Amino acid sequence: MTKDFIANYQAHTNIALIKYWGKRNQDLMLPVTSSLSLTLEAFYTQTQVHFSKDYDEDQFILNDQIQSAQERQKISRFLNRFRQLKNTDLKAQVTSYNHVPTAAGLASSASAFAALACSCNEALELKLSQEELSIMARFGSGSASRSLFGGFVEWEKGQGDDSQSSYAHPFDEADWDIGMIALVVNQKAKKFSSRQAMQHTIETSPFYALWAEEVAKDLEAIKAAIKARDIQKIGQIAEHNAMKMHATMLAANPSFSYFQAESLKAMEAVRQLRKTGLTAYFTMDAGPNVKIICPYSQVAAIQEKLSQDFDPQNIIVSRPGPQPFSIPLINQ
């Protein structure tokens, strides 16, 4: 009888409060700066991997759809790193589901590669540590290195070209009054990948010279604010950090931006919330959606106010999320 290697894991996505924007080494996926995120409960990926002699080639099925050769190749390259560690050439079937309420366009490579790394580790009985898995996930997508942990997570930039020195670790459990609201805007916005966008920014934006220094300061300040559980400070620092990242893109040549008209409207709505005495700050990533940092105890009041100007279906509330965990196998 042939032994099959199979496992299924759930990993949650994360939103950076201090952003990762740029690589110092593209081949090794090493970032220019450290970064810090909050893992979210509401958005996650479940990924089963099955290594077996029955497969002649790797297969990748996402949300019940067989994926293109291009998508499959990305997965195959990622699987190769695990095959190397196990010294096997078994092919695999990867079956993945993105759990994102509505068609929110928040599906993230972060939860996807974190879940796949965990499943490969268990299926192939590699017994890698969380830190080693964070390094493995990083090779799929930089932000995925942070989804190996729950709550507030810091991804260390590491040293030089030492690939093993850059991984994430938990910073704070976030088991206190903090939440995040995703405000989904304009899902039809043209997408361009963060990978290309950050490289173009490094190569052409004169403002990028300031970025690393600003991140270092913001990171120290937000860590103190998290330890003090000062949401107002956390929000102020995160909002400013996100805007500085987007400013580097506005100064790129040619310039580009992820801001849509609706994103600007959402940011203004958050500023108005503050005028009414609520504690709410925004952040934005490589897409038009706006995410709001707030005390969880204020989400109902914020939701109600935002519902006057935005479709309630597009306002998605989340608590902080957990680290990846094993889930039952799906039927073959």
Residues at the interface with ligand FM0 (CB under 6 A): 16, 19-21, 35, 109, 141-143, 194-195, 285-286
Q: How far is the CB of 245 from ligand FM0 (least distance, A)?
A: 6
Give min distance, CB of 284 to ligand FM0, in A. Answer: 7
Instruction: Pick the closest to residue 167 from 176, 157, 177, 175 (CA basis).
Output: 157
In the complex with ligand FM0, the residue whose CB is nearer, 25 or 204, is 25
Q: Which is nearer to ligand FM0, 7 or 184 (CB)?
A: 184
State which residue, 219 or 317, has the beta carbon closest to ligand FM0.
219
We find the least distance from the C-beta atom of residue 321 to ligand FM0, in angstroms, to be 15
Residue number with CB closer to ligand FM0 (109 or 119)? 109
Instruction: For the CB of residue 183, give the shortest distance to ligand FM0 in the complex, in Å.
Output: 15
CB nearer ligand FM0, residue 90 or residue 215:
215
What minimum distance in Å lies between the beta carbon of 144 and ligand FM0? 7
Between residues 179 and 288, which has the closer beta carbon with respect to ligand FM0?
288
> What is the torsion angle, in degrees rounded to the nearest 10, for the CA atoms of residue 326, residue 327, residue 331 and residue 332?
-20
Residue number of the CB closest to ligand FM0 reads: 142
Task: Let me know how many helices (H) and strands (E) the chain has, helices first.
Answer: 8, 14
Our CA dihedral for 280, 283, 284, 289, rounded to 10 degrees, sits at -20
Identify which of residues 5 and 155 has a Cβ nearer to ligand FM0 in the complex: 155
**Cα separation, 276 vs 274, whole angstroms:** 5
How far is Cα of residue 275 from the mean position of the Cα atoms in its chain? 30
Query: How far is it, in rounded angstroms, from Cα 185 to Cα 287?
Result: 9
Kindly state the smallest distance separating residue 272's Cβ from ligand FM0, in Å.
24
- Shortest distance, position 109 Cβ to ligand FM0, whole Å: 5
Residue 10 is inside which H or E element, if any? strand 5-18
Can you state the angle between helices 69-86 and 130-140, rounded to 10 degrees? 150
Burial (Cβ within 10 Å: 0-12, 13-18, ≥19) of residue 280 = buried
Cα distance between the two ends of the chain: 18
